[in-house]
């Protein structure tokens, strides 16, 4: 897991591609439309991540703050930084609790600053 985060240092999207099972059950805590449980990578990308990715001018860099393991659970603390399409910075901080099976994330819970997520979604309107 630590290696996957290091490999994703310049492209946060590589992290999910490298370690998430296609059928992952992923829960984003908090409020609003993206605060729910997603069933599979397609659901997560289509209904949470792509809206954010489409508003970045390039890729997001990720910085690993810490990774800890206990049995089949991995705890990861990280930050991300990107430039939004309007030139303003985007930053967020995450704590993940990941359930591993056969070296893949099969379930996880994410805590992040949803205010930062919704702010960029509301600020940058995409063409229809």
Q: How far apart are CA 52 and CA 54, in angstroms?
A: 5
Report pLDDT digits (tens) over 13-55.
Answer: 777 788 999 999 999 999 999 999 999 999 999 999 999 999 9
% of the chain at pLDDT higher than 70: 100
Q: What is the mean pLDDT of the chain?
A: 93
Q: Is the pLDDT of residue 9 over 80?
A: no
Q: Which backbone phi and psi does 37 adopt, to 5 degrees?
A: -95, 130
Full-model pTM: 0.91
Q: Architecture of 2-123 per CATH?
A: Roll (3.10)
pLDDT tens for 87-124 read 999 999 999 999 999 999 999 999 999 999 999 999 99
- 10 pLDDT exceeds 90? no
pLDDT-above-90 percentage for the chain? 80
The predicted structure's pLDDT at residue 17 = 81
Please give the structure tokens belonging to residue 99: 């359930």
């Amino acid at each position: 897991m630590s290696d996957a985060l290091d490999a994703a240092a310049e492209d946060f999207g590589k992290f999910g591609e490298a370690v998430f099972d296609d059928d992952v059950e992923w829960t984003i805590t908090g409020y609003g439309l993206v605060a729910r449980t997603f069933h599979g990578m397609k659901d997560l990308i289509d209904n949470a991540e792509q809206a954010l990715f489409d508003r970045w001018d390039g890729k997001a860099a990720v910085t690993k703050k810490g990774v800890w393991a206990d049995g089949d659970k991995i705890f990861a603390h990280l930050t991300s930084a990107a430039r939004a399409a309007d030139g303003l910075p985007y930053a967020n901080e995450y704590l993940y609790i990941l359930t591993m099976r056969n070296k893949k994330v099969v379930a996880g819970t994410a805590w992040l600053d949803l205010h930062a997520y919704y702010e960029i979604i509301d600020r940058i309107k995409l063409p229809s």
